[in-house]
Structure 1
Amino acid sequence: MRIEAEQVVALAVWLVVAAFLAVLFYMGPVGWVVGVLVFLGALKFTDLSDVFDGEPQREKVNCPACGARNRVDDPTCDYCGHRLAASGE
């Protein structure tokens, strides 16, 4: 099994989230609410990054305007909307 850089980042995020959740648990109800928000944010991060999909990772290209990573077959940047030159044209 080959581990991609994005998977390492996602696992690091989950380790940090787990540490925060352990600390927030002892803060009482306010910490529980904040902990739930942190947990939901981490879930959204891993969902948006496509790290844990069953399909193999597709090749990516950097956006020339903002530098964000996008799939090669995307016509525009997912983050800033700039047209990507490497979209098959």
Structure 2
Amino acid sequence: MKTRDLVDHYRVAKGYWFVPHMFGFGVTPVTWQGWLVTIGFAALLVADVRFVSDQIAQIGIGVALFALFTMVAIRKTEGGLGWHWGVRK
């Protein structure tokens, strides 16, 4: 794989915050907005586990946070979400 292919993979059009993983399933934040959403999701998930005492409530809040993060990531991912094997065309 050429370095240029790798650099181009992590470049997104205006309005997108994430790119799909080069191999496998998932997304990677590539703008400050994407990183802010990702760090915010992680911080809220840690706060949920740390400060919510009821286990059922923890699970419910965690699932809701995961669903919200996933919806944002899908909407803001250039090229869509799916299984990838190599450089985007």
TM-score by length of 1: 0.49
Which entry has the higher C-alpha Rg, 1 or 2? 1
Higher relative contact order (CA 8 A, sep 6+): 2
- Higher relative strand content: 2
TM-score by length of 2: 0.49
